[in-house]
Each structure stands twice: as C-alpha cells, then as structure tokens.
Structure 1
Amino acid sequence: MTSSNINLNAEPERIERIPITLTGDGAWCWFADPRALRHVNAATGSDKTYIGYIDVAGSIQAVQYDHVTQERKQVRVREGFQQDDHNNPTFLALRDGRVMIFYAEHSTTPYFYYRVTARPDDLETLGPEKIIDTTGYGNTTYPSPFVMTDQPGYFYLLWRGMNWHPTVARYTLPDPDGDVTCAMEPKQIMDSRCSEQETGKRPYAKYETNGKDKIMMTYTYTHPDNMIPNSLYYSYLDVNTLTLHGADGHQLADLNRGPLKLDNNETDPAHLVDRQPRIRNWNWDIAVDKEGYPVILFVRINEDKDRHHYCYAKWSGSDWRITPLADGGRWFHQNDQRELCYSGGMTLDHNNPSIVYMSIPVQGAYGEVFEIHQCVIAHDGVIVEINQVTENSTHNNVRPFVVRHAALGEAYDLIWMHGDYYYWDHSQGRLGYTTGLRTLCEIVAIEDEGKTDPSA
C-alpha cells in the first residue's frame, strides 16, 4: 500500500463564492428586462441561463449556460448595432421551449428587432433577424416582453414609445417561421404632458407580471433631471379589460379611451408611491411578494444630485410602507458633467423580494469603490441584515441584476457591471461604457493550507 499525503488534522473544506469575470466587454441599462433569465424546460430536461448585454463595438451578445453540463457558450446576436448601453437585449421563453430575444435602438427608429430559436432551449439555433414595425406609434427603447396565461396565444410587449411614454401592444406568439402578427395596436399607457405641444417629459417605467392577467408597473413623472420633485407611481394593467388600476384595485384609466393623465401633484395613496420636497425619484425594480403585493426599489436623489438614498417600498394592503435602505453615495461613473442621477443601482430577487442587492461606495484597499451588498428585509420592513458581497475591488461594481427565476446560491444567480464607466454612448469617438460583467463562482477553500481551488 502506498503512503497517503492526506493531513488527518486538516480543517474541513468550505465552499466560498468569489467574483469572476463573465465577459470583459459588456454593459446594460436597467430599464429593459429581463436582461437575463433561467429557464427550466420540464419537457426536454433542459436547465439553462441566458444572459444578454451589448459590447463597446455595439454588438448584441448573449451567454448561454447549461446547468446540467456546466457548459457555457457565447452567441453573437447582432453585429455592429448602435453603440449604446440602452440597447441591451431581453429574453422571452415560449411555451414550446423556443426562446425569443428582443433588441432596439435608443429611440432612433420605430423598429423592434427579434430572433427566435429554431430548437427549444438553444440560443445557437437563433433564426434570422425579424422586425416589429411600430411606425406611427413612436420610436422604440427598452423592450419588456411577457406571456400571460389568460392570453395564451399572445405575448405583450411594453416599451418607451408613443410620445416618449410607456406603451403596450399585443402580438401573436411566433409561428414555426418565427413570424408574429400585431393583435392589438400599441397604446400609450400614461401621459405626463400638460398639452400635446409639450415635449421633454418622459416617464420611466419598470414592469412585472403575475403571469396571469396583470402587468404591474412603477413609473416616474419624468426623467429626474427634468423635474423636482419628481413623483414615483404604481399601477397595474388588467390585460383582459385594458384598464389601469391603483394598488387597491380601483380604476385609474381605460386605455381603450386614452392614456392615464399624470399629475405631478397626485395624492391618491394607491397610485402615488413617493414624493418628497426637493427630491428627484427614480425607480430601479419592481417585484411581487407571496401575498401578491408589489414591492418597489427606488432612489431619492437630492437637488444637487450628489446624494442618492436607496429605498424599499411595499404595499401593505392599505398604504405604501417605505424602508430607507442605505446611502448610495453619488453618481458612480467617472464623468462629473452628465447623467448625475446614475446611481450604483439596486435589484430584487423576484423569487423572494425581501432580498435586495445594492451597489454602495465603500472605502477599501483601492480607495472608495462601489461594492455589491445584500440586504434582507423582514415582512414589517425592518432591515434584518446587510452583507457585503464584493470587497477591495479595483473598479466599481454597479447595476446588479438577480437573474429571473435563478436560485440564489447557484451558478449565474447574480450578475453586475464591473469597470470604468463614462457615458451610455460609445460612438463618434466618445469614451463610454468600458465595463465587463461579473458573477459569483463557487470555490473550495482548504482551511489548513489557506489555498483555494477555483476549478471545484
């Protein structure tokens, strides 16, 4: 028998999770979702995560990770698109297992571009690029697609479109050739303009769905640069009646008759989430808790835009309960002339919206750097704990995103941008988003030798 090198006195191994680079060249905005999703297909046994982003050359990119084989594949969806981080792609998993991927330019054309996989579960089989033409209904930005069980033959697409306002339309699910048909013409959801001649006001919306008949949304009165105070609202759309409702269910508008008229002085407690004197609100995420109530992440930005305070709002059944989460510092990027309302960012775990991830500036080994933190919030809104996820980073970690349907603690559950960021536009010689994407990787830490094995 040969001798063994096993140390019988060694401490047991432990599993740690450390940041790894998913791509060194990639970025996304936070208003087009889902930017990434995990899809388990019971019919085929597939379990994959799809992650989308745009690179500095303007190419639409996707990563496909197979949780069964642990194989990762890179898929270029569209080469040489607009060099703008607003243009990150979004995903929709269809009932037949095929996957749709959507992308659009930043409000410069009336077109959505999309591709559909020829086979279930596999982005490497994407079919030809096709177009949804929205001519006459505004240009396109931020595609957010949903399938609802009450409308099983269709998908809903929401975006910033008509008059630069949130817009909704319904389309048939793709046929075998990937073609879709408009089944409901686009409708503007709300209107914050005092008159049709007024321009510049553009509500920013985030969406979520109960998967059956409601599309929940939180939106601002306009861009926080343009108004102070800038109010934050909530409503849901009943897809069967196309009526808009407050959190308590009362009707706010009938889209068949026209959009909801927004008033920055709104006081309806089921509609208005937050308005503070001299504060610019901006929304970051919305999810639905186990009771079916909406949960919203937003930031309160001061008049000078140099203090960003993160907040968590939850509908109690009768009012909005707001929990201040953390001081988010100021803008995160290396440009102090533009986009000073760009916070480090926040995201909810949509499986369990009591869990929040935040990007917060921290003094570390390389000075003040934005680091990712996890925050756990009790049912009554009390903060249970805050844990730092990244530390002593050389560059900022911002715009975190919990992958839709991911299981926290498993591969590719949380993804964020890492690196230097100057502007959302990287064209015409501008220095824009020189960032990559990171996620967490499990390693085995060997206690007695102080070593780690990242291949574990």
Structure 2
Amino acid sequence: MNTKSHNKLVLNVIMGLALNGLCLGKALALSSDSSEFQANYVSESLFQLSGGHTFPNGAWCWFQDPRAIIDTGAHQGPLLLVSSFSAREKSQYAARNWGENIHPWAKGDNDLYWLNLASGEKGQVKVHQGLTQDDHNVAAIHQRSDGRYIIAYADHGYEPVTYFRVSERPHDPTTWQPVTQFEHADTVTYSNLYQAVDTSNKPLLLNFNRSVGFDPNVMISANEGRTWSYGGQLLGGPGRPYVRYAQGAGRVHFLASDQHPRVFDNSIYHGTTDGTSIFASNGALIDEDISDENFIEPHQLTVIHRGKPSAVGWGVDIEVTDDGLPYAIYSVQKNNQEREMLPGLDHRYVYAHFDGELWHTEEVAYAGTALYEYEQDYTGLAALDPNDPNIMVISTNANPDTGEPLISQADGKRHWELFLGKRNNNAQWSWRPITFNSTQDNIRPIIPKWDTQENTHPAKRVVLWMRGTYTSYTEYDTQIVGVIQQRESQ
C-alpha cells in the first residue's frame, strides 16, 4: 500500500482519537509514542458475557451462523443472544499434535448468553454439557415466527448427529425443551440455520452442515425445525469446500472455496439456493435438484476471486443488502507458495460486492500473520455490518494500511486488535481502532443483524469478539466480549 494510503490511515487514527478525547501525533503503535492510548484501550464501554466458574471462557469457529441474533420483539427491550463454546480444561490435543489421529478427551460445553440492550440485564444457560472440547461445536441460533428460539449444533466430525433445542417460551432464553437429534448418513460438523422459500412459496428452514462426502450438505424443515429431512449435497468434488452463508430474500446466499487452503490455491465463489436448486449470482440455474446424486463443484458457481500460489483465498463473511445484492469479505495468503507447514506471514482482506451483473473486488487491509502455527491461513477474521455494506470490523496484528506489526505499548508484544472500517463514495476505506495497546488478542468479530419494527436502520451497532489467548481450536482461554456503538447518520 502506498504513501497516500498510509497518510490516510494516520489522519483517520487522529480523527478517531479526537472523537474519544485523545490526541496522537503519529500512526498507531508504529509511533515513537503511542502511550496516549491507555493499556487495553477500547473505543466504547466493554461488556463481558463469559467468565466465572461454570462459564469460564468462550470461543467460536466461523463456519456456523448465526452465532448471535437480536430479538427485537422482546417486550422489555431488544435482546441480544450469543452462542459460544467453553473449554473446561487444558486440552491434550493442542496445536503441537495437529495432524495426528487423536480424539481430544478434554470436554467443553455449549453455552448461550443474553443481554438486554435496553436495561443491561444479562444471563446465561448451558444448552449442552460435555461435548468434545472444540470451537467447531458452537451452536447456530434462529428465531421462529412464534418468537421461540431454536439452536442447532454438532460435535466436530466425531458422530453422525446434529442436536437441536427449542426454547420453552417465546422471547425467553432461560429455559429450553429437551434435546432432539437428527441422524445423518455420515459424521457431521457445523450448523447454519437460514430461511428460504420453495417453488410453491412455502417457507423452509434450512440447516447447512458438513456431512456426506465430507462436503457441504443441507437439511430441510417445513415446520420451523419441529421435524427435519435430508435435502441433499450442496457441493462436491475433490477435497472439502468451506462455505459461509447469508440470509437473502427467499434464498440463501453462500460464499465457497474449492477446498481447504492448506492443500489448494483456493478461488472464491458465490451462489444462492432455495433449498432445492442452486443459482449463479445473476440468477442463472446451475443445479436444478440438490437432492439427486449429480452434485456440482464449486468452480461451477460464479467466480469472485481466482486463486493462485501468491493469493490463496478463504471466505470470511458474507451479507446481503436490502436490495438483494450480496457483499463479502475474504482473506488471501500472499507468502507461503511452497505449502510448508509454517505460519503465513502476510494475509490481506479483500472486500467484494455484486452490482447485479458483476462482482467487484477491493483489497482493503493487511490482515497480519497466521493466528497459530499449524493453520497458516487462519487470520483474526472480519465481520461485515449486515445493516450497512459500507461498514466492517477487522481483526489484525498489522497496521491495516501498511502491514507494519502492531506492537502494544502495554506489554511490548504483538497483538491482534480490532478496527472499524468505513467505505466512502470513492471506494476508499478508513480505519479507526476499537481496541489498542492490548495485553490480550482480540479476534473473530461478529456484528449481528439488528432489524427494527419501522424497517429503518438501527441507531446502534453491536460488535462482539473473542478476547484472550487462542492456542488452537481445542485449546483457548478467550472471553466473549462486546461493545455497543452509536451509528453515524445514514
């Protein structure tokens, strides 16, 4: 990135500090004196959901959603619900054992937190205890038309079972009906709950997972999750595509890779589905019947990014505008062209948006280094604002505009920090810190959709993330935290 963009970052940081009553003469931690950011600076008041003896920590993978929803029908005010998975103990399947066929015997729990966004009242409940300690097991949350919540989750590829629970009462996360199960034909990982409309205009609830063929599959419910049936294999081909999903009008949009980026120079693709068929970005039919055995491969979808050894893609987030146009964020690894088992040292975030005919892409920020040694394509991740396609939050341990390491003045170490990004009319992104000078890492942000009764943009935005130490997907000591931000005028 050039000197002009570097200077833009300096200006944006100074402006962001001024809004918070601070002043800083140079950019971020690269300044000779960034001490005017206090240790563990957070731009707004921080709230913490996890913590305590029975809820010691929390984490999530990013291939299950929604992990957080906002119930605007709750009579005491909008209610934030957040799913996470707690680690009870130090796992004996740490990153150093990656690649060995060892079942982790440490146990963890699926936890649900809630926060009344009007009163500040909060609480938590354990929805499932004693699954394998693994952040892939986190539950997806959906609110039914009767106001009740349904959650879905699975134990990371160790059994052919998806679990479900439904809340006892509408708008009440405190008590839950007994666990029900769906038996798959193969082991299962992930849950993603989204709605679609079939060809007869009948609403469907879909649950996307990885099961048959170690590939993306879909389950279908015509009664909002009371009963389920197998819908078919969404994608196939060599390897295992990784897929992110988003709610559209009558269809579910999805962002897909060819395979795991550890083994393939991934491209990034987009498609939509109504649970029965698959369509290209422009609406063209690609697969008429998901339920048959003639599944399509990712490369048959609409191409967003062409992968190559110096730009290995992986999907991060996708959302859809009120006009039905998808926008997405993905990461590319730039430096590890030999596929050595070494941490990726240079990742970038790329923003993509569809105008109804074509996809447009913009490299927007440096994403820093790999999150841990044996997953060279893991980044701190990013979250798109589902209410505003020109807003995102990124996690990076590098200056977003220059790639220079972010060294905390609080402890002299490099940490992942969060930055709020805003896109202007010239397609330029400006960044201001949400966290800075941290003594812990700040990773994997989420921005839940906040609908309003008046169908207008909400006045506020919730940003959630994991804060602490993340060693691997089975070993972590991170807390689920968040802030409530006041939106700028639309």
Q: TM-score by structure 1 length?
A: 0.81
2:355 aligns with one of 309, 316, 319: 316
Identity of aligned residues (%): 24
How far the C-alpha of 1:35 sits from its partner, in A, is: 0.6
Deviation at 1:291, TM superposition (A): 2.9
Map of 1:418 onto structure 2: 467
| Aligned twin of 1:277 | 308
Q: Which amino acid aligns with 1:98?
A: R
- Is the Cα contact below 8 Å between 2:345 and 2:369 reproduced in 1? yes
8 Å Cα contact 1:19/1:390 also seen in 2: no
Report the Cα distance in structure 2 between the residues aligned to 1:256 and 1:147, rounded to whole angstroms. Answer: 18
2-side partners of 1:95 and 1:149: how far apart? 14
* Deviations 1:22-61 (CA, angstroms, capped at 9, x unpaired): 324110001100111101117x565211011011121111
1:185 and 2:230 are equivalent in the alignment: yes
Which secondary structure state, in structure 2, belongs to the residue aligned with residue 163 of structure 1?
Answer: helix
Q: Deviations over 1:252-311 (max 9, x none)?
A: 222244454326xx4x7x711101321321001011123321111100113522211110
Equivalent residues of 2:234, 2:296 under 8 A apart: no
Aligned to 2:123: 73
Q: Which amino acid aligns with 2:378?
A: Y
Distance 1:127 1:237 in 2: 30
Q: Would the aligned equivalents of 2:233 and 2:291 in 1 still touch at CA under 8 Å?
A: no
Secondary structure of the residue aligned to 2:407 is strand
Q: State the distance in 2 between where 1:327 and 1:141 align.
A: 30
User: Aligned residue for 2:255?
Assistant: 218
Amino acid in the other structure paired with 1:110: P
Structure 2 CA distance, aligned partners of 1:246 and 1:161?
A: 23
2:407 paired with 1:363: yes
What residue number does 2:282 align with? 248
Deviations 1:363-400 (A, max 9, x none): 221332110001112466x1242111111110110001
Greater CA deviation, 114-123 or 62-71?
Answer: 62-71
Residue 30 (str. 1) matches residue 68 (str. 2)? no
Question: What do residues 120-149 of structure 1 show as CA deviations (whole Å, max 9, x unaligned)?
Answer: 111112111111222x2x222110112335
- Where 1:234 maps in the other structure, the secondary structure is strand
SS in 1 for 2:414: strand
| Equivalence map 1:72-221=2 (5 Å) | 72-134=122-184, 136=185, 138-148=186-196, 154-173=204-223, 180-182=226-228, 184-193=229-238, 201-210=239-248, 212-221=249-258
Counterpart secondary structure, 2:213: helix
Q: In structure 1, what is the equivalent of residue 346 of structure 2? A: 307
CA distance in 2, matches of 1:314, 1:107: 33
Higher helix share: 2
Aligned length: 397
Residues 1:308 and 1:161: Cα distance change in structure 2 (over 3 Å): same
C-alpha separation in 2, matches of 1:16 and 1:283: 27
Instruction: Give how far 1:185 is off.
Output: 2.5
Change (3 A) 1:89 1:371: same
Contact 2:257 2:314 in 1 (8 A): yes
Give the 3-state SS of the residue equivalent to 1:368 in structure 2.
Answer: coil
CA distance in 2, matches of 1:172, 1:418: 38
Partner of 2:113 in structure 1?
Answer: 63
The C-alpha deviation readout for 1:68-90, integer Å capped at 9, x for no partner, is 43210111111112100111111
Deviates more, 1:13-22 or 1:78-87: 13-22
Q: TM-score, normalised by structure 2?
A: 0.76
Correspondence 1:19 to 2:46? yes
Q: State the shift of 1:172 in Å.
A: 3.5
Aligned to 1:402: 447
Deviations 1:309-335 (Å, cap 9, x if unpaired)?
1100111222221110111111124xx
1:412-431: CA deviation from partner (whole Å, max 9, x where unpaired): x1111111111112xxxxxx
Root-mean-square deviation (Å): 2.5
Q: Please name the residue that 1:3 is paired with.
A: none
- The residue that corresponds to 1:230 in the other structure is 266
CA contact (8 A) 1:46 1:121 kept: no
Question: Any gaps of 5 or more consecutive residues in structure 1?
Answer: 1-12, 194-200, 426-431, 444-456
CA distance in 2, matches of 1:344, 1:369: 10
Counterpart contact for 2:218–2:231, Cα < 8 Å: yes
Contact 2:385–2:392 under 8 Å retained in 1? yes
Aligned mates of 1:47, 1:375 — CA distance in 2: 25
